[in-house]
Chains A and B, each alone.
Chain A
Amino acid sequence: MTEGGPGLSTEIIALRISGTVTEFRELGIEAAMSNYLLLLLLILTLGMFAITRLQETRATRQARQIQEEG
């Protein structure tokens, strides 16, 4: 929609990666940039798994408590 501009105001990382490959011809830096993004996404995904597991254990513990009381 804006192709990153005006200035850097909508320059998201994915756009920066694809744009600077042709501009600066530094594939190493581009790869490092993608790795930063990958790392960010990995942290979020692992966080998601952790939250799901936490909820499951809490649910099973609650169920057991209810059984013991009943």
Chain B
Amino acid sequence: MKAQNLNRMTPYVFMAPATIIMGLALLYPLAYMIYGSFRAWDPSQNISETEFVGLKNYITLFFDPAFRESLSVTLTFAFAVVTAELAIGVGLALLLDRNIRGMSVLRTLFILPMMIAPVVVGLMWRYMYHPTVGTINKTLKSMGFESVDWLGQHALLSVIIADIWQWTPAIVTLLLAALQSLPRSALEAAKIDGATGWQQIRYIKLPLMMPVLIVTGLLRLIDALKVLELIWS
């Protein structure tokens, strides 16, 4: 009788550590934040001393032009980054999906940007974008072009380029894995029917990759919406 009870308990016992950590590290702060968002709360106050203001905070924010501006900047950034990364990522993955010598070396090189901490990437690009001594403007000048005011006039574009540089490899890696696991039979059938390379990509590879594409795009979108270190550093 007792053993049976224990048996029934087993899954919950195994689940307990993860549940406790989730509750302490995720659900508790989340509930705290939602609770705090309904209060006029100065950092020096204890939360029990604060005054309940209902939805006032949300309404203030909703009509705050600065908040709307930063919301639109965030959305612009996220969608621009994801579109560009998906386009470049699909292209690179299609190019890399063949038997080249030194493929593993290439792949390691491609993943390098992903391994750098975003803070470092931000700093690195900041120095590269420097108006007078940055690498990019120096190169442009030495080739006879006008220097560009990267972080002034084109700040958002510069940030977008840096993010594309860092995260396209992730997309390439995921899409390459998807490409290499496509059913060979469909591709062979298309080849026998005389499909050109472009037709194979357009009618066979892309439709079969679509589920992976959508999931990768959405993951990147969620990630891009909460980017901080790249711009902040």
Contact = CB atoms under 8 A, between A and B. Distances in A.
Interface of A: 1-6, 8-16, 18, 21, 25-29, 31-38, 40-41, 44-45, 47-48, 51-52, 55
Given A16-B70, A32-B58, A1 B218 contact: no
A38 B151 CA distance: 29
Nearest to A8: B69
Interface in B144-202: 151-152, 155-156, 158-159, 162
- Main DSSP-derived SS at the B contact region: helix
Contact of B40 (A13, A21, A28, A38): A28
B201 to A, nearest CB: 21
A28 B41 contact: yes
B9 to A, nearest CB: 31
Interface of B: 30, 33-34, 36-44, 50, 53, 57-58, 60-61, 66-67, 69-71, 73-74, 77, 122-123, 125-126, 129, 151-152, 155-156, 158-159, 162, 211, 214-215, 218-219, 221-222, 225-228, 230-233
B129 A1 contact: yes
A44 B221 contact: yes
A66 B58 CA distance: 52
Contact of B73 (A9, A31, A47): A9
B159 A25 contact: no
B43 A25 contact: yes
A10 B33 contact: no
Contact of B36 (A3, A15, A28): A28
B222 A44 contact: yes
